[in-house]
Structure 1
Amino acid sequence: MKIENIGDLQVLVQTASYGSLTAAAANLGITPAAASATLKRLENQLGVRLFERSTRAMRITSQGQILLDYAKRAFDLLEEGEASVSSDRAALVGILRVAAPSDLARNSLLPWFSEFLELHPGVQLALSVGDKVMDVMRDEVDLALRYGTLADSRLVARTIALSRPILCASPAYLQRHGAPQTPQDLLQHNCITFERAGKRHRLWRFAQNGVWTEVRVNGDRYVDDASLAREWAVAGAGILLKSMIDIRQELAAGTLLPLLTAWDTEPYPLHALLPSGRFVPGRVRALIDFLAEKFARAAATQTF
């Protein structure tokens, strides 16, 4: 092992966090000279440059970022291990950094997260909500929930729910414009689109008797927050193609009505993504198992 003192990595973590060696040293209770010497020692041991230094800031290098990611996970695991050996019940502790799509968070996850935190009072949740795809490898995320096909083969993924998109519209919209009878009829309708996997999702696919049809839809509104797209649809602004998981409450209440029910849509899996399969804190594994069970119970009583 090249790194002789794992405590030296705290200087790396704090310097990256503050962007300043002086601030990192103050937080660690050591002198700036000692912090600087520690970083130089790490760089010599590894044979790489961890920071680009300037008079104004410390900018982490690509090699430094890789080590930083592993260092954070290592300290998380050490914290969890210390709590486990000092507790009769090996309680879960630490921060859970989770990224989730907006509609999924608002419609399903919020009460489940609250239940999980009540079960594990030693855990803190740091939730990032949005439909823009986060870089799980580089952002400070322990777990990302993401719909659709995965493009990054480096990620460790577990499918925790399987749904299909539902074409839908409000009763008010259908009263004004009528309901489409075939996918091609959507070309004559106002379709609400939103970002999916970081791109505007306009190519909607439907199948009947094993034959797939693609329609490039259009409309007068497009948004990067899928929950707003759902609200527009409920308000009667247009037709929406959305995961059954996200609109099941509106379908049950009748504020959105399913369309083209004789046509199939593509499976739309929900994945739990991890930056690494080797170092997974127990609290992350526990949350994934907890959410998988919740979705399984929901699927048993409702069609996803």
Structure 2
Amino acid sequence: MDLVSAIKTFVKVAQCGSFSAAAQALNRTQPAVSRQVSALESHLDMRLLNRSTSQVALTEEGLMLLPLATELLSCAESLLEATRHRNQEAVGHVRLAAPAPFGLHLSTHLGRLLSQHPGLSVELLIQEQSPDLIGDGIDIEVRAGVVSDSDLIARCVGSTSGLLVAAPAYLARMGAPTSLEELGRHECITHRRGGYDSTWWFMTKQGPLAVPIHARLQANNAEAVHRAVLNGFGIAMLSHLTAGPDIGSGRLVQLLPEYPARRFPIHVVYHARQHVPKRIRTVVDFVIGLLGDDPAMAVDDWLLS
């Protein structure tokens, strides 16, 4: 039984003074109205109305229940109105997790999103490892690589774009590699996401190529790798979001541009729900739009196959 609907029917009958008038006001049949009131009485285990062939009258219990029922309906309408408002406007708090390069990129643009939606707030979490969305209370994650959890919605919205770089100071000391094979003889700085990272992947005319490297320095944070390569310690593979401005200013030099880094899919991941709140949809759409504005992160066709 729909309890709120049954209470609404009871209140209408009490206000109208008859089942037929209440049925007309509710655009329903008289038997349907009568059955719903009877179901409510059965549910509450009390008689609310005395019936006769010509009229109905509230019992003592009905008189007691009527003001409470009216107040309950008012609260239900307020709840529905608030829900409609939240569905129409992006209102509430969103926890958004992202790896360092894209998270830092996001931080420079989120002000635009928040200015467009005064009722929205965002908590940006810079995380190198994928979080437990439910356990950590994360609403949305930007994730590079494959998403295998079938309980999550994962939308492939872009692809990574890495650049092989070194500082001028390092190149003055060690020289620049002229081939991928020479990378094994250079000092390399790697971003360690799991186990020991001793391989970099590049795209060649023959397809993806794994190149062994010698990692003199490892860090589990992309910004730490960025700072180390700027300081001239070695060669690193950085996101174009991180390395691009430094290449433009001369602080870093791109190496072997004829061999681009292998690209991996970027997903926007969130909980699999039938009804996604407006606040979540708004942030997801903003992230997708931000990725779409950067041609370097366009989705490669093979990533969608």
Partner in structure 2 of residue 109 of structure 1 = 106
Partner in structure 2 of residue 17 of structure 1 = none
Summarize deviations over 1:125-183 as a string: whole Å, max 9, x none: 12221212212243210001111233434321112322322111111111111111222
User: Of residues 250, 253, 256 in structure 2, which corresponds to 1:254?
Assistant: 250
Q: Identify if the C-alpha distance between structure 1 residues 91 and 213 changes in structure 2 by more than 3 Å, giving closer, same or farther.
A: closer
User: Of residues 144, 149, 157 in structure 1, which corresponds to 2:154?
Assistant: 157
Partner in structure 1 of residue 164 of structure 2 = 167
Q: Provide the secondary structure at the position in 1 that maps to 2:191.
A: strand
Q: Distance in 1 between matches of 2:237 and 2:146?
A: 17
User: Of residues 220, 225, 235 in structure 1, which corresponds to 2:231?
Assistant: 235
Single out whichever of 96-105 and 261-270 deviates more from structure 2. Answer: 261-270
Q: Distance in 2 between matches of 1:98 and 1:280?
A: 15
Q: Distance in 1 between matches of 2:208 and 2:79?
A: 49
- Quick check: which has more Rg, 1 or 2? 2
Q: Distance in 2 between matches of 1:123 and 1:188?
A: 51
1:139 and 2:136 are equivalent in the alignment: yes
Residue identity in the other structure for 1:254 = G
Unaligned ranges ≥5, structure 2? 4-77, 301-305
Tell me if structure 1 keeps the 8 A contact 2:202–2:261: yes
Partner in structure 1 of residue 210 of structure 2 = 214
The RMSD of aligned alpha carbons is 3.0
1:204 is displaced (CA, Å) by 0.7
Tell me if structure 2 keeps the 8 A contact 1:80–1:93: no
Summarize deviations over 1:231-286 as a string: whole Å, max 9, x none: 11111111111222332222222222111111132112321111214242111111
Q: Provide the secondary structure at the position in 2 that maps to 1:127.
A: strand
User: Of residues 286, 292, 304 in structure 1, which corresponds to 2:282?
Assistant: 286
Single out whichever of 186-195 and 160-169 deviates more from structure 2. Answer: 160-169
Q: Identify if the C-alpha distance between structure 1 residues 244 and 269 changes in structure 2 by more than 3 Å, giving closer, same or farther.
A: farther
1:207 is displaced (CA, Å) by 3.2
Partner in structure 2 of residue 18 of structure 1 = none
Q: Provide the secondary structure at the position in 2 that maps to 1:288.
A: helix
Q: Provide the secondary structure at the position in 1 that maps to 2:225.
A: helix
1:85 and 2:81 are equivalent in the alignment: no
Partner in structure 2 of residue 188 of structure 1 = 185
Tell me if structure 2 keeps the 8 A contact 1:80–1:92: no
Q: Distance in 1 between matches of 2:96 and 2:191?
A: 22
Q: Distance in 1 between matches of 2:167 and 2:79?
A: 48
Q: Distance in 1 between matches of 2:244 and 2:130?
A: 24
Q: Distance in 2 between matches of 1:81 and 1:202?
A: 57
Q: Provide the secondary structure at the position in 2 that maps to 1:265.
A: coil
1:81 is displaced (CA, Å) by 6.7
Summarize deviations over 1:218-240 as a string: whole Å, max 9, x none: 23221111111011111111111
Residue identity in the other structure for 2:91 = V
Query: Identical aligned pairs, as a percentage?
Result: 28
Single out whichever of 237-246 and 185-194 deviates more from structure 2. Answer: 237-246
Tell me if structure 2 keeps the 8 A contact 1:80–1:281: no
Residue identity in the other structure for 1:101 = P
Q: Distance in 2 between matches of 1:295 and 1:80?
A: 36
Tell me if structure 1 keeps the 8 A contact 2:92–2:121: yes
Q: Distance in 2 between matches of 1:251 and 1:81?
A: 54
- TM-score between the two structures when normalised by the length of structure 1: 0.66
Q: Number of aligned pairs?
A: 225
Q: Provide the secondary structure at the position in 2 that maps to 1:221.
A: strand
Q: Identify if the C-alpha distance between structure 1 residues 211 and 113 changes in structure 2 by more than 3 Å, giving closer, same or farther.
A: closer
Q: Provide the secondary structure at the position in 2 that maps to 1:174.
A: helix
Summarize deviations over 1:78-131 as a string: whole Å, max 9, x none: x997545358x932111101111123222x111211211111111121222121
Q: Identify if the C-alpha distance between structure 1 residues 181 and 300 changes in structure 2 by more than 3 Å, giving closer, same or farther.
A: closer
Residue identity in the other structure for 2:121 = Q
Q: Identify if the C-alpha distance between structure 1 residues 80 and 248 changes in structure 2 by more than 3 Å, giving closer, same or farther.
A: farther
Residues 115-130 of structure 1 aligned to structure 2 (within 5 Å): 115-130=112-127
Tell me if structure 1 keeps the 8 A contact 2:152–2:269: yes
